[in-house]
Amino acid sequence: MNDNPDLLRDAAEVAQDALDQYRGRIEDIRPAPSPAPAKAEADDEKITMSLRIDSAKLGALKIIALRKRVRVNDLVLQGIDHVIALNTGLAT
Q: Which helix (H) or strand (E) holds 22?
A: helix 5-29
Burial class for 76, CB neighbours closer than 10 Å (0-12, 13-18, 19+): middle
Domain ranges of the chain: 1-32, 55-88
Average pLDDT over residues 41-64: 84
For 1-44, the pLDDT digits (tens) are 556 777 777 778 878 777 777 766 655 565 667 777 776 666 67
Residue 71 pLDDT level (bands cut at 50, 70, 90): very high
DSSP 40-79: PPTT-----------HHHHHHHHHHHHHHTS-HHHHHHHH
pTM exceeds 0.85 for this model: no
Residue 78 has a pLDDT of 92
Residues 6+ apart with CB under 8 A from 71: 65
